[in-house]
Amino acid sequence: MQSVTSVQSGAICGSKSKTPAKVSALPGRSALDGELMSRVVTSADRDAFNALAMHYAPRLKAWLMHRGEGDSTSEDIVQDVLAAVWQKAASFDGAKASFSTWVYRMTRNRWIDHKRKHDRLQPTAPSDMIHLVDEPDDSLHAGLEEAEAAQAVRDALATLPPEQKQMLYLAFFEGLSHSAIAERTGIAIGTVKSRIRAPLKKLRTTLEAYRKDVP
Amino acid sequence: MSTAHSLPITVGDDWLAMQSAGTLSPFKQLLLTCQADMAPHLRPLFASDDHVAGALLESAKPAALSDDFMSRLDARLIADEQAKAPTSEAAHAASIPDWMPAPLADYMRRNGRRLRWRNAGVGVQQARLGRNRHGERLYLLRAKPGLPVPRHSHSGQEWTLVLSGGYKSGAQQYVAGDLHQEDESCTHDLRIDDDGPCISLIVDEGKLRFANPLLRLFQPVVGI
């Protein structure tokens, strides 16, 4: 089960070789995910929950395995996350974050929790770490609809050159350091850094500009 | 909150990206979580890269799941539902000092740790909170008002989150909610503000390196 399934249409794929990852347009699931979560929240719709689980569980597992977790541990963590999604569904607010951002954050925080235990240290609850960004009501941008901001980021991401998107994928999804990306792709580390910093700066600028425009 | 500048000082863009990707150490993640707890207006800044990561996740290359993954998940949800029980943390909340951010209080509660201040030099107290296998130390420092900290550098990185009070490093003022990064390339001295004690949460990778040989002599005794 260490293997990865065949590439799906529209997927972004890293490669173990020095071949650049293939990147195509992001299909975007935000509206569909929002509708499914609405059904989960309003009517405890298990079919809707299963649809979300079927799509995200294999990708979250891949994210964890890229960080060195084994097959079994990765699935255990994903199960914890999905159980939390079901239990805390009412706390999901599509106006603050897309489902993909929400579940990504939960998975990252649950994994950090796991790492703390592995380091013989006790965890901080994932739910406490979620509020890193899930409670921006009292922020300077109190009126911001984060889901719309996320869509702005998604739109900007879709317009990036493939080589920049590939670097972001390797950094964020596979969790590789700049030097590891350079080694993987055969690209000079300085170029790797610029290909990561430049699009992130562009995306952050997009987001900041969007936030300033929101009353 | 900060009076010397409009936004608290935090880590740079590269560190924010690492935080979002989950590639920072757990102690440093905790420090940033505490900062976000103290400074809610930083949260959108931290959130930006999570939006990127979430968008990438939607169409990322999947891994194969076990054949029984969904049936195990179904059984898990049923078991969780049956085991659901009300919890109360009111008693714990009552014992949290007002300067302690909630994520740190939660960390200490789950770790079964009590706040134990010990002297770490004249006018300085330290409360050790943990050490991990990566060689990082997590601890609190409490320094008396007006205390000068002699010129020193660091062995590895040091991240300091000011929880209450403040201090000045060179020309830079740090106040509650600010995060101060140093590494072995920087030599500086500090002065604690006169208007009250300064409490900081610190993650470091090694002890201070004092310029003064006499201070280096006493360093093993004070433990910082």
Instruction: Say if B77 falls within a structural domain.
Output: no
pLDDT digits (tens, 9 = 90+) for A180-201: 999 999 999 999 999 998 888 8
pLDDT given at position A125: 42
Tell me the residues of chain B between 139 and 158 that have a Cβ less than 8 Å away from chain A: none
Taking CB atoms and an 8 Å limit, are A53 and B70 in contact across chains? Answer: yes
Taking CB atoms and an 8 Å limit, are A104 and B50 in contact across chains? Answer: yes
Instruction: Say if A33 falls within a structural domain.
Output: yes
Of residues B32, B101, B47, B42, the one with CA closest to residue A139: B42
Same domain, A59 and A130: yes
Taking CB atoms and an 8 Å limit, are A27 and B58 in contact across chains? Answer: yes
Asked if the C-beta of A202 comes within 8 angstroms of chain B's C-beta atoms, the answer is no
Taking CB atoms and an 8 Å limit, are B14 and A197 in contact across chains? Answer: yes
Instruction: Say if A21 falls within a structural domain.
Output: no
CATH code of the domain covering residue B205: 2.60.120.10
Instruction: Say if A9 falls within a structural domain.
Output: no
What does the buried/exposed string (b/e) look like for B72-92 if buried means 16 or more CB atoms within 10 Å of the residue's CB? ebeeebeeeeeeeeeeeeeee
Same domain, A114 and A206: no
- Residue B190 phi/psi, 5-degree rounding, is -125, 160
pLDDT given at position A153: 80
Q: What percentage of residues in chain A have a pLDDT greater than 90?
A: 42
Of B48, B50, B63, the CB nearest to A4: B63
Instruction: Say if B179 falls within a structural domain.
Output: yes
Same domain, A125 and A178: no
A1 to chain B: nearest residue by CA? B64
Which 3-state string (H, E, C) describes chain B?
Answer: CCCCCCCCCCCCHHHHHHHHHCCCCHHHHHHHHHHHHHCHHHHHHHHHHHHHHHHHHHCECCECCCCCHHHHHHHHHHHHHHHCCCCCCHHHHHCCCCCCCHHHHHHHHHHCCCCCCEECCCCEEEEEEEECCCCCEEEEEEECCCCEEEEEEECCCEEEEEEECEEEECCEEEECCCEEEECCCCCEEEEECCCCCEEEEEEECCCEEECCHHHHHHHHHHCC
For residue A154, pLDDT over 90 is answered with no
CATH code of the domain covering residue A170: 1.10.10.10
- Counting the structural domains of chain B, the total is 1
Residue with tokens 């996350």: A81
- Counting the structural domains of chain A, the total is 2
β-bridge pairing B148-154 and B208-210: antiparallel
Residue A160: DSSP 8-state: S
Contact, A156 vs A170, CB < 8 A? no
Contact, B55 vs A158, CB < 8 A? no
Taking CB atoms and an 8 Å limit, are A61 and B62 in contact across chains? Answer: yes
Of A111, A135, A196, the CB nearest to B22: A111
Asked if the C-beta of B58 comes within 8 angstroms of chain A's C-beta atoms, the answer is yes
What does the buried/exposed string (b/e) look like for A160-196 if buried means 16 or more CB atoms within 10 Å of the residue's CB? beeebbbbbbbbbbbbbebeebbebbebeeeebbebb
CA distance B206 to B224: 9
Instruction: Say if A11 falls within a structural domain.
Output: no
Instruction: Say if B86 falls within a structural domain.
Output: no
Asked if the C-beta of B118 comes within 8 angstroms of chain A's C-beta atoms, the answer is no
A85 — pLDDT class (breaks 50, 70, 90)? very high
Contact, A141 vs A120, CB < 8 A? no
Instruction: Say if A149 falls within a structural domain.
Output: no
Instruction: Say if A55 falls within a structural domain.
Output: yes
B84 to chain A: nearest residue by CA? A87
Which tokens sit at A150? 């996320």
Burial class (CB in 10 A: 0-12, 13-18, 19+), A131: middle
Instruction: Say if B72 falls within a structural domain.
Output: no
**How far lies A166's CA from each of A9, A20, A23, A161, A174, in Å?**
16, 7, 7, 9, 11
Residue with tokens 């079964």: B112
Which residues, listed in sequence order, are joined to residue B148 by a DSSP beta bridge? B191
Taking CB atoms and an 8 Å limit, are A116 and B26 in contact across chains? Answer: yes
CA atoms within 13 A on the CB side of B157: 16
Tell me the residues of chain B between 12 and 31 that have a Cβ less than 8 Å away from chain A: 13-14, 17, 20-23, 26, 29-30
- Edge-to-edge strands of the sheet including B166-169? B172-175, B166-169, B188-192, B148-154, B208-210
CA distance A72 to A169: 24
CA distance B194 to B48: 37
Same domain, A34 and A127: yes
pLDDT digits (tens, 9 = 90+) for B22-58: 888 889 989 999 999 998 888 878 888 888 899 899 9
Same domain, A171 and A132: no
Tell me the residues of chain A between 52 and 81 that have a Cβ less than 8 Å away from chain B: 53-54, 56-63, 65, 67, 71, 74-75, 79
- Residue B142 phi/psi, 5-degree rounding, is -125, 120
pLDDT given at position B59: 87
Q: How far is B156 from chain A (nearest CA, A)?
A: 18
Same domain, A205 and A168: yes
Same domain, A99 and A180: no
Domain span at A112: 27-139
Instruction: Say if B53 falls within a structural domain.
Output: yes
Asked if the C-beta of A213 comes within 8 angstroms of chain B's C-beta atoms, the answer is no
Asked if the C-beta of A182 comes within 8 angstroms of chain B's C-beta atoms, the answer is no
Residue B136: its chain A contacts at CB < 8 A?
Answer: none
At residue A202, the 3 state secondary structure works out as helix
Asked if the C-beta of B57 comes within 8 angstroms of chain A's C-beta atoms, the answer is yes
CA distance B196 to B180: 19
Cα angle, residue A138 at apex, residues A92 and A125 outer, rounded to 5°: 50
Contact, B157 vs B214, CB < 8 A? no
Which one has a higher pLDDT value, B100 or A152?
B100
For residue A131, pLDDT over 60 is answered with no
pLDDT digits (tens, 9 = 90+) for A107-125: 998 998 888 777 654 334 4
Of A3-12, A19-28, A37-46, where does the model show the most confidence?
Answer: A37-46
